[in-house]
Amino acid sequence: MRAARVFLLASLLGLAACSPALTPASEDRCGPPPPTPKPLASLGHDPKPFETRHSPEKTYGGKTSGYLYRFEREDSGTTESLRAVHMIREGRVLVVGDHGTALVRDAKAGWQKEDPGTTEDLHALVVAPHDENGESITEERRKNPPYLAVGSNGVAVFRDPTGVWRVESTGTTANLFALHHLGQTTVAVGAGGVMVERSREGVWRTVKTRTTADLYALESCGGHLCAVGAAGTMVLCKSRDEELVCIPRPPPTQATLRVIDGSQLMGDGVWLSSVPTDKPEPRPPPTFTPWPVAKEFIAGEEMRAREHNHYGGISEMLAVGRRGTVWFQGRLADERDRIERVKLPFQADFHDVAYELVDGFLVGDQGTIVHLGVEGVALMHICLL
């Protein structure tokens, strides 16, 4: 009996050495819960910002009363159409638009103009690939990446981390409307079905798309790089022998498609969803069909862009369209059917949106910039021991 007790004691001692989670003080080692995130101080000039309550998620114990979403216009200092925005959390917010407009948000001085070195319209903006393998990403580097923008007449401009812009030659004179990263390369699509691919070093080359339709959006979907555009044009690209091979697909709609969101395509009055397949690998390419759930939310609308926001405590997609329309969609598996359309009291057509944690920026015609601040978000307290 005594031997058994000693054996039990020894076993427990051994377990404790291997399993720190079982030690009595484990719950004290999580530290305090994260502070409630606060939105950026608004540069707004609306006497009464538009406010709405909205519940981004219900699972994982998320709030059921909803957070307060405050939309407030900010003075951009321009009347040019603003086409693309990129935001880095607690870092730079950069906007580009027509006639070589480039604006950087300064918390004190407001939106400041930069000179991108071109007067062409700039339609799309991304952070350019910049991190080397094995390189430490410091906070300074995270907040000051290089950017790449493309636009009319095949223009591409590169903004280095010091804020210096330079124009690059893409080899095309077609208008370029969208950008997407594919590993170390960046791909742009545009008018007449043109597609160009930029190496990390800034060398551009043409990719054959086998379509002449205008292409407005470019994203990953169903294991492919997908491009969509006018008259429901859809092109699926795959990397083969280190080159992109693009093959058009039968148009899933006759409407213009402008947004790709993984298993969904959106555009002018249409919201399509991918058709599920139970076929084993290799899976057939994705096919899309109108999504009945979204029909009432997209009828008569034109969705232009979308952005995802995923944090513990908030998880949703925010999309923007014409005449001040925005959409929220739950992004968790059991929330995808939950779509909400909101009409903002700003008549501008929106072209792009950035949205991360408790801040968002919507940009559009007539120099419109709308700041979205989300109040009351409580982050989940995740503790790994």
Residue numbers at the binding site for other proteins (CB under 8 A): 2-3, 6-7, 9-11, 14, 210, 236, 238, 240-241, 245, 247-250, 279, 281-285
Q: How far apart are CA 77 and CA 342, in angstroms?
A: 26
| 293, 264 Cβ separation under 8 angstroms | no
Q: Rounded to the nearest whole angstrom, what is the least distance from the CB of residue 6 to other proteins in the complex?
A: 5
The SS3 call for residue 191 is helix
Q: Which of 226, 255 has the CB closer to other proteins?
A: 226
Q: Rounded to the nearest whole angstrom, what is the least distance from the CB of residue 240 to other proteins in the complex?
A: 6
Q: Rounded to the nearest whole angstrom, what is the least distance from the CB of residue 187 to other proteins in the complex?
A: 16
Q: Which of 237, 370 has the CB closer to other proteins?
A: 237
Sign of the torsion formed by the C-alpha atoms of 134, 138, 140 and 144? positive
Residue type at position 356: E
Q: How many residues does the chain have?
A: 385
Q: Rounded to the nearest whole angstrom, what is the least distance from the CB of residue 107 to other proteins in the complex?
A: 46
Tell me the chain's radius of gyration from C-alpha atoms: 24
Q: Rounded to the nearest whole angstrom, what is the least distance from the CB of residue 226 to other proteins in the complex?
A: 11
Q: Which of 44, 248 has the CB closer to other proteins?
A: 248
Q: Which of 280, 300 has the CB closer to other proteins?
A: 280
Q: Which of 6, 164 has the CB closer to other proteins?
A: 6
DSSP structure class, residue 140: H
Q: Rounded to the nearest whole angstrom, what is the least distance from the CB of residue 291 to other proteins in the complex?
A: 22
Nearest to 261, CA basis, from 202, 219, 210, 205: 219
Q: Which of 144, 287 has the CB closer to other proteins?
A: 287
| 166, 220 Cβ separation under 8 angstroms | no
Instruction: Tell me the two tokens of residue 250.
Output: 């039968």
Q: Rounded to the nearest whole angstrom, what is the least distance from the CB of residue 59 to other proteins in the complex?
A: 30
Q: Which of 47, 284 has the CB closer to other proteins?
A: 284
Q: Which of 231, 245 has the CB closer to other proteins?
A: 245
Q: How far apart are CA 112 and CA 105, in angstroms?
A: 6
Q: Which of 61, 223 has the CB closer to other proteins?
A: 223
Instruction: Tell me the two tokens of residue 353.
Output: 């949106």
- 281-288 own/partner pairs: CB under 8 Å, 24+ apart: 283/222, 283/223, 285/222, 285/223, 285/224, 285/236, 285/249, 286/221, 286/222, 286/223, 286/224, 286/226, 286/236, 287/249, 287/252, 288/234, 288/252, 288/264
Q: Which neighbouring-strand residues pair with 375?
A: 68
| 111, 43 Cβ separation under 8 angstroms | yes
Q: How far apart are CA 187 and CA 308, in angstroms?
A: 21
Q: Rounded to the nearest whole angstrom, what is the least distance from the CB of residue 18 to other proteins in the complex?
A: 8
Q: What is the dihedral of CA 207, 210, 213, 215, to 10 degrees?
A: -40
Q: Rounded to the nearest whole angstrom, what is the least distance from the CB of residue 32 to other proteins in the complex?
A: 36
